[in-house]
Chain A
Amino acid sequence: MDFDKRLENQIEKDIQHLRKLGYAQELYRTIGGFSNFAITFSVISILSGLMTLYGYGLGLVGPFSIWTWAIVGLFQLMVALALGDIASIYPLAGGVYKWTGRLGNPHVGWFCGCFSLLGWLACTAGIQFGMGVFLTAYLGFELSAPNVLLVTAIIITAHSIINIFGIRLVAKITDFSVGVHIIGAAVLVGLLLIFGRNNPIEYILHVGNVPQGMIFFNFVQALLMSAWTLTAFDASTNVSEESINPSKVVPWGMVFAVVCSWVLGSLLLLSLNLSLPGLKETLDSGFPAALYVIRTALGTTMYKFITIFILLAQFTAGLSSQTVSIRIVYSFSRDKGLPFSHLWKNVSSKYGTPVYSVLLISGAAFLLCVIAPSLHLITSLSTIGLYFAYAITMAVAIFERRKIQANHGPFHLGKFRFPVQVISLLWTIFITFIMVVPPVGQSGKIFILATVFITFYYFAAMRKQLGAEFKYTLE
C-alpha cells in the first residue's frame, strides 16, 4: 500500500514538473527504471553493433581493435554523464533537440535535431542492413548485393508492420531484448572462452600485417567499430514523458546501459579474439568475421544455435532504433520542424500510430541501403550524425552552464560538470572530424550534402518560423 502511495505521489510530482516546462501530461507514465535501461541497452546492442563491424576492425588492426572499445567506452561514459546531467533538468520527449532548444535557442535546437535525426535514421538502416548480411549468410544464400538488399527489405517491412499495427508489442519486445542480449552474450562468451580458445591473452596486442607507420592511422579508422556501437544512448530520453521519476531514471538508465554494454562488449571482443582461428583465414572466408569465428570455434550446431540469439538481438535493436527515429520525426514535425510536417505528425485514428512517419523512416532507411550498400558507409554516416548532435549539445551546455548549475536535477555532476563537458565536447568533435575527413570518412560527401540541404532549408523556411513560434525558457 505504501509503495502504491509513493508511486502515485511521484507520478503527480512528474506531472507538475512537466507542466512547469510548458507541456500537459498526454501520455501514460508507466515506464520504470528497468525499462529505461532496457531501451538504451537494446539500442546500443553489442550483439548487433560489435558483431556486425567486428570484421571491419579486424581488417584494419587485427585483434588490437579491442582497444578501440576500451577508449570509446571511457569517453562515451563521459558523454553519457554529461547528457544525463541535462536530461535530469529536461525530462522531455525529443532528447537532444529539445535540450539544446531550451538551453540555447530554437535555431540551434533545430540544427541539433536535424543531425540527430540523420544519425538515428542511418543507425536504424545500419542495424537493419547488418542483420540483412547476417541473415543472408545464416540462411545459406550467396552474400551478393541483391540478396542482402532483398533480405534487408523484408526486415524493414517486418519492423514497420510492428510499429504501425503493434505499438504495444514494441515495449514487450524491448524488455525481451535485454534478456536476449544478456543471455546471448553470456552464453557466447562462456562457450568461446571454455571451448573455443585458440590464442594466448597476448594475442589482443597483435595488429596483423599492418605496416608500422600505418598502425595509428588504421587504429583511428577502426574506432568506427566501437564508436558506432556505443552510441545512441539518448534513446531513453525519448520516453521521458512516459517514465516514472524521469529526472532520475533516465540519466541513470543511460549511464548503466553504457557501463553494462562496455563490460559485456569487452568480454565479447576478448572471447572472439582469443578464439580467432587465424587472421588471414577469417578475413578471406567470405563470411561475416564474427560468425566465422563462432562456427570454427564451436562447431556447426552451436553456431546455428548461438546465431539465433544474435539475429534476435539485431532484430530487436533495429526495431527499437526505428521506434526512436519515428518518435523524433513525430516530435519534430509536431513543432513544424520538417517539410510536410502536417503529414508526418498525422496519427492514425485506427492504429494510434504515426503511420506516415513510419513509412518515411522505413523508405529513407531502405533508400540509404540502396545508395550506400556498404555497412561501414552507413554506420559512419550514423556516427557522424549522432556525434555531431552530441557535440552541439555539449557546446551549448558549456555555454549555458550557469543555467544548468542553477536548475540542476537530482542527477547532477556538481563540480565535475565543466571538465566532463569539455572532455565530451572534444571527444565528439574528434569522432565527427575523423568520420568526415577522407579517407576515413567515406560518407563525408553524403554528410556534407545533407548539411547543405539542412542549411538551405533553414534559411528558406525555418528561420522566421523558429524566431516566431519557439519561445521557452527554463525560468
Chain B
Amino acid sequence: MDNDYSNISESSGDDILITPKIINTFLRNHGLNKELRAKHLFAFGIGTVITGFYTQWNLGFGTTGPFGLLAAMLIVFWFYLTFFSMLVRFSVNYPFAGGPYAYARQGLGSFGGYLAGAATTLQFVCASALVLIIIRKYLSLIYPELPGDYLVLGIFALLITIHITSIWFSGIAQIFLTGTALSGIVLFFIGSYDTGQINNLMKSPLIFDGWQGVLTALPAVMWFYLGMEGITMSVEETRKPQRDLPLSLMSGLGTVFLASLGVLYFGAVSVDWAHLKTADFPLSYILSQVQRQDEVLLATFGLINMGAFLASLHGLINGYSRQVYALSRAGYLPNFLSRMRTRHQTPFLAVIVPGLFSIAIGFLGSFQTVAVLTLFSAMLMYLLVIISYLKIRKPKPEIFYKRSLLCHPFILVINLGLLVIGQISLIYQFFSSAWVIFIIYSGVVLYYYLRAGKNIRNEAPEENAAISTRNKVRIEVK
C-alpha cells in the first residue's frame, strides 16, 4: 500500500486547496460499491472479447493464410502481453475507475487524459454498437422468423437493467454468460476434434502476401483481445484490487491466447480454410459442415453463440459506463452522468445515455465505419497510455519498481511503432471511413477547449492523484 496515493501523506507545497476532508466527502458521494472479486473481473475480461472467437477473426485467412494468421496472432499476443504488464503496474498504483484516462492523465496532463478517456469511451460505445450489428445479422441468418430488431433492443434493455441493478448482480450474470460462451468454445473443440484432417490445411497455400499480409491480418486478430483492458476500470469496485486485478488480467490474457490457438487450429484443419475466410460466423459454419446431421449440437451451439454475444455486450456496457462515469466525475463530461442510485451505488445515467448512442450507431452506422472507428480509438488510447508510462517512469521509479523486461522502454517503443503502423495501415485500408475519424476527433478536441477543459474538478481521485504527483504532495485519506 505504500504506493497508493489515496493513503499516504507528505507535503512540500503550500498551494494545496484539496484537503482530506474534501476528498472524503467527494468519495462518499461518488464512491462505487466494492463487490467484485477476481472471478467477476475474469468473467468481465473474457466475456468482453469472446465475440471475437465467434466472428471476424477468420477474415485474417483471406489476407495471409493460416501460417500468416498464426504469425499475426503471436505478434498481437506479444503486444497485449507487454501492454497488460504495464496496465497492471498502472492499475495497482492508480486504482481509479477512469482507467486509461487516469493513466494518461499522469503523464500527459489534462488534455492527454481527456483524449485517452474519450478514445476509450468511443472504443467501448462503438464496440457495443458493433456487437448489436452482429446480433442483428446473426438473428436474421439463424432465426429469420424472429423479430430480430425488437429482440436486439429487448436484450440490450435487459442487460442495461441488470447492470443498473447492482454491480454484484451484474458480476454474477457475467460469470454465467461468460461460462456459457466459454463452454461453447469447448463444444466447438469436441465437435470438430474427430473430424479434423491435416489435408484440409494443405489444400491452399499456407501463407501468402508475406509480411504485408501478416500486417493486414492484425486488425482481424485484435478482435480476440480488444476491450479486455476494460476491467481496469472496475478497480474501484474490486475488493482486493492489488491482488485481483493483475490476477484476472493476466489469467484472462493466457486463456484467450490458448483458446485462440485452439480455434485457429481446429478452424484450419476441419474444413478447407479458403472457404472459411468468407464465413460470417466461422465456428457455426465449421460445425454445420462437419456435423451437419447432428441437429441437437447445431441447435445448442446456435443458442450458445447468442450467449457469447450477450457476454460481450454486457462487458462492453461495464467498460463504457465506468469511463463515462469517471470523466463526468472529474468534470470533463456533464455532471449528471455521474449521478448514482442511492441504494446500490451504480452510475445509472452513465450506463443508459451512452447505451442510447450505441443503439443509434448500431442501427444507423455501417459495420465497416464503426469497426474502423473502434480500432482507431483503441489504438489511440494504447498509444497515449504507453507514452504516459514512458514519461512518468523516470520521475516515479518507486511506483514502477519492477525492472520487468516486458515493460522495458525499448519494447514499449517497438509497440508504439507497431501502433503507428497499425493506425496508418487502418486508414490506408479503409480510407473511405477516415473522414468519420477526422470529424469525430475534431469534435472531441473542440469540446475540450469549449467546455471540458474549463470544468475540471480537482477533487476527483484521478485528478487529485495527478496534481499530487506534479506538486510532490501526498494526501492522506481515511
Contacts and interface: CB of A to CB of B under 8 A. Distances in A.
A278 interface: no
A330 to B, nearest CB: 28
Interface stretch (B83-91, B262-270, B290-298, B451-459): B290-298
Interface in B269-313: 291, 294-297, 299-300
A298 B186 contact: no
Contacts, number: 33
A305 B296 contact: no
Interface residues of A, number: 13
A298 B179 contact: no
A166 interface: no
A318 B28 CA distance: 45
A191 interface: yes
Nearest to A297: B296
Contacts of B175: 179
Most buried by A among B190, B291, B296: B296
Given A179-B179, A183-B176, A301 B299 contact: no
B179 A301 contact: no
Contact of A299 (B176, B183, B186, B296): B296
Tell me what chain B mostly uses at the interface: helix, strand, loop, or mixed: helix
Interface string A302-323: 1011001000000000000000
A183 B175 CA distance: 11
A301 B291 contact: yes
B295 A195 contact: yes
B190 A304 contact: yes
B176 A301 contact: no
B294 A301 contact: yes
Contacts of A308: 186
Contacts of B180: 183
A195 B303 CA distance: 14
Contact of B300 (A179, A183, A302, A304): A302
Nearest to B294: A299
Interface in A289-345: 298-299, 301-302, 304-305, 308
B191 A183 contact: no
Given A183-B176, A183-B179, A299 B190 contact: no
B201 to A, nearest CB: 22
Contact of A305 (B179, B186, B295): B186
Interface string A179-204: 10001000000010011100000000
A304 B186 CA distance: 10
Nearest to B33: A3
B58 to A, nearest CB: 21
B295 A301 contact: no
Contacts of A183: 176, 179-180
Contact of B297 (A179, A194, A196, A301): A301
Contacts of A304: 190
B187 interface: yes
A195 B299 contact: yes
A196 B186 CA distance: 22
Return the 7 tightest CB-CB contacts between A and B, nearest first.
A195-B296, A301-B191, A301-B297, A299-B294, A304-B190, A305-B187, A298-B296
Interface of A: 179, 183, 191, 194-196, 298-299, 301-302, 304-305, 308
15 contacts: A183-B176, A183-B180, A191-B296, A191-B300, A195-B295, A299-B294, A301-B190, A301-B191, A301-B294, A301-B297, A302-B294, A302-B297, A305-B183, A305-B186, A308-B186
